[in-house]
Amino acid sequence: MEIISICQRRERMTADKPLRADAQRKREALLATAREVFDAGGFFDLRFDDFARLAGVGTGTLYRHFPTREALAEAVYHGEVATLCDRARQLQATLPAAEALATFLRGMVDHIDAHEGLARTLATLMTTRSGALTEGSRALEQAVTDLVAAAVQDGTVRDDVDAGAVMMALHGIGAAHDRPHWRAEADDVITLVLDGLRRPR
């Protein structure tokens, strides 16, 4: 069965059943509220109905868009992945290939640092929805694969290391967030990855 990417699926859903402007605004308000709660680390402390109150919408609106807490978490997760994939494509379209790859990888460290609470809570919730996690991982890996392939094509990156190794480094950076000097070490890991990918002269 063909796997539909997160970005493609979002576009297809919008095309098949577009939301009215007011409904779209309320849905985005709910997602923004959920992201803020994720980042603050309080996702499990709130009653599900409280998300509606914080977003300034009715509980009926909440349940219409997101019938369960897990559905809301999955929507946030898909949104985060789609944003990162869009960022990768934008960089690839506007920067030289090697610079686009480096900028994206360093931006991933920034993203992990800024949204550590979100990442931890999503990881906990999404362990029971492994299909969504797998889909997101594949979408991100494809974005990295495209960036690496472009740099290989223009001769700035070696052709004997694939994007899977880069993804392993990113996963390791995220998993090590509790280390006391995490940010400096994470930046150093990205430097090592980029140096290792560089084609020898």
pLDDT at 3 over 50: no
Name the percent of the chain lying above pLDDT 70: 84
Residue 34: CB partners within 8 Å, gap ≥ 6?
A: 43, 51, 72, 73, 75, 76
Which amino acid does the sequence have at 35?
R
Q: Given 3-state DSSP classes, what are the helix, strand and coil percentages for the chain, each rounded to the nearest 5?
A: 75, 0, 25
Task: State whether residue 198 is helix, strand or coil.
Answer: strand
Q: Which residue has the higher pLDDT, 95 or 176?
A: 95
Whole-model pTM? Answer: 0.81
pLDDT at 7 over 60: no
Are 145 and 104 a contacting pair, CB within 8 Å?
A: no
Name the percent of the chain lying above pLDDT 90: 51
Domains, the chain, in order of start with CATH, read: 16-67 (1.10.10), 69-200 (1.10.357.10)
pLDDT at 147: 96
pLDDT at 126: 56
What mean pLDDT comes out for the span 186-194? 96
pLDDT at 145: 95
